[in-house]
Structure 1
Amino acid sequence: MNAFLVGTERESLLIDAGFDDPHSALAIQKAVEKNNLAYPTRVLLTHAHPDHAGGVRWLRPWNAIVMFHREEEDLLRRTIGESLRRSLNGQYLDDQADATVDGHSVIALHTPGHTRGHLSFWLPEQRVLFSGDNVLGKSTTWIGPPEGNLRDYLRTLDRLDRLPVRAIAPGHGSWIPNPHERIHRLRRHRLEREMQILTFFQTASRQPVDLFTLTRAIYGQKLPDRVFPFAMKTMEAHLQKLIEDGLIRRTDHNQYSIKC
């Protein structure tokens, strides 16, 4: 997981707080000192999953404002607990809000898909995008309902693709020097998976199937047990979109079939 410091010796902010782990906080502190930066006065959360928001507990001595999209409120409370949430100096960030740091724009973009209130942060002067988990360095983004929504995710990719971005700093993995190529690949992957599901229903199974069976059929028998639940949630996201598109139907017994 990546956390990023943005700023100068006069003012800085932190994008994402890392895990609920003192070692994460120590690594951030060392990076501040090594780069002669001011201690962050604001922590901007891309979203409230534990690997991005859990570390706010250990950053409280900085008295920084923790900023996030209002649609992450419930998820943040589940991640860090009610008591810690009440003690935070929290503030909502809306779409297009400018979290300027030392005179340089840091634009918040509401980019749902991975979660409802996911934010990306756009530095227009540097043409750098901090994408959180919507665009990753190597792997594909996990979309798991109810927080994740595939239709929202595809819209987010379209929005990010319209930016004149030079490089992407992802929530996981290395910097992405070919951002538009990466975005196109991620979008293509989702659409190919959608077509794979439809083809399965058209050829391999004209009968209703449950989510478990469909996930096994699409992802294969070699999928490790530890990641299978995540694959099932991703499959659920695809089915949710296909139902909304009028291509798939869900039966009363929580099975799925192609809509004739």
Structure 2
Amino acid sequence: MATAHDPVDMPTGTLLQISPRVGRVLAPNPSPFTYTGTQTYLVGSDDLAVIDPGPADADHLAALLAAIGDRPVRAILCTHTHRDHSPAAAPLSAQTGAPIIGCAPLTLEDDGPRADAAFDPSYIPDRILADGEQVAGEGWTLEAIATPGHTSNHLCFALVEENALFTGDHVMGWSTSVISPPDGDMADYMRSMQRLLDREDAVYYPAHGDPVANPRRLVRGMMGHRKQREGQITRFLERHGASEIPAMVAQMYKGVDPRLHPAAGRSVLAHLIDLDGRGIAAEAEDGRWRLR
């Protein structure tokens, strides 16, 4: 769940080289959910892959084209299809001739209260990457790592040559990810986090926030945070009996920006659905939740 961090001033539209093979361009879409905005990554030097081209914003598209210059783009890759990640794929493909590769398309009518994280109905990939499949160019290789949870179609991309992982929204550099049913799934998210914990990546490049230099420590902390939140929910239900989600959010998210409470409710719902699946909690006909 997003914390009370506020977006900070960061330069948008400028290519920042952060490793020998990786540059990033920040989109001008800061918000309480996107932090400083969505970071589009350019991988390679002589030829490129573009990861998470970002929102449908003319200034951001122009900045990407300027950063690309006359270099060929071999692939445009999307980690998932929320509207701050994939809508620029089609116009960027039209300008560069590069194929759109990566996650499967996904559109839901009910995707929670976050307008900035609605699904992108325009996303049409030329190729869907299965777990373990690779895309390569001059001096770079990207491998798809299936990480469902934040969305069912979420992929991370491992940069083999630098032992780095582009984590999209699965692991962010400033906050935990919102898990919003019906597509967001807490059980899947925790399994995906365990999968990352079992890896040996040296650095994460998230779509929001700074690079993560000690990724396994962060993943352990995020998994512990989810377990703590689950414990809060079960203790709340033990003390108060059958309860509605807004009452839980008001108690458990004191001090958090109230604008984030609706999204917090989605994550609480995701925990409750997971607890239901494990036989620990159940929803009554009146919409209240209780322990079994």
**Structure 1 and Structure 2 fold alike (TM over 0.5):** yes
Question: Residues 89 and 196 (structure 1 numbering): CA distance in 2 closer, same or farther, change over 3 Å?
Answer: closer
- Alignment partners' CA distance in 1, 2:125 and 2:142: 20
Identity %: 29
Q: Is the CA contact 1:19–1:51 (under 8 Å) kept in the aligned structure 2?
A: yes
Mapping for residues 106-117 of structure 1, pairs under 5 Å? 106-117=142-153
Instruction: Give the drift of 1:80.
Output: 4.1
For residue 247 of structure 1, what is the aligned residue in structure 2?
Answer: 280
Q: Is the CA contact 2:52–2:85 (under 8 Å) kept in the aligned structure 1?
A: yes
- Alignment partners' CA distance in 1, 2:102 and 2:142: 14
For residue 152 of structure 1, what is the aligned residue in structure 2?
Answer: 188
Matching residue's letter, 2:253: Y
Mapping for residues 1-260 of structure 1, pairs under 5 Å? 1-9=38-46, 11-33=47-69, 38-59=71-92, 60-70=94-104, 72-74=105-107, 79-81=119-121, 84-85=122-123, 90-102=126-138, 104-203=140-239, 205-206=240-241, 208-220=242-254, 222-259=255-292
Instruction: Give the drift of 1:14.
Output: 0.4
Question: Residues 65 and 211 (structure 1 numbering): CA distance in 2 closer, same or farther, change over 3 Å?
Answer: same
Instruction: Give the drift of 1:68.
Output: 2.5
- Alignment partners' CA distance in 2, 1:80 and 1:138: 24
Matching residue's letter, 1:239: L
- Alignment partners' CA distance in 2, 1:26 and 1:211: 43
Residue ranges of structure 1 left out of the alignment (5+ in a row):
none
- Alignment partners' CA distance in 2, 1:162 and 1:236: 27
Q: Secondary structure at the match of 1:174?
A: coil
- Alignment partners' CA distance in 2, 1:231 and 1:144: 9
Instruction: Give the drift of 1:89.
Output: 5.8
Work out the number of aligned pairs and report it. Answer: 246
- Alignment partners' CA distance in 1, 2:150 and 2:125: 25
Give CA-to-partner distance per residue, 1:186-210, whole Å, 9 cap, x none: 111100000111111122x02x111
Matching residue's letter, 1:62: T
Q: What's the TM-score, normalizing by structure 2?
A: 0.79
- Alignment partners' CA distance in 2, 1:147 and 1:124: 30
- Alignment partners' CA distance in 2, 1:79 and 1:257: 31
Q: What's the TM-score, normalizing by structure 1?
A: 0.88
Q: Secondary structure at the match of 2:135?
A: coil
Residue ranges of structure 2 left out of the alignment (5+ in a row):
1-37, 109-117
For residue 8 of structure 2, what is the aligned residue in structure 1?
Answer: none
| Aligned residues: CA RMSD | 1.9
Q: Is the CA contact 2:82–2:120 (under 8 Å) kept in the aligned structure 1?
A: no
Q: Is the CA contact 1:243–1:249 (under 8 Å) kept in the aligned structure 2?
A: yes
Matching residue's letter, 1:212: P
More helix, by proportion:
1
Q: Is the CA contact 2:106–2:119 (under 8 Å) kept in the aligned structure 1?
A: no
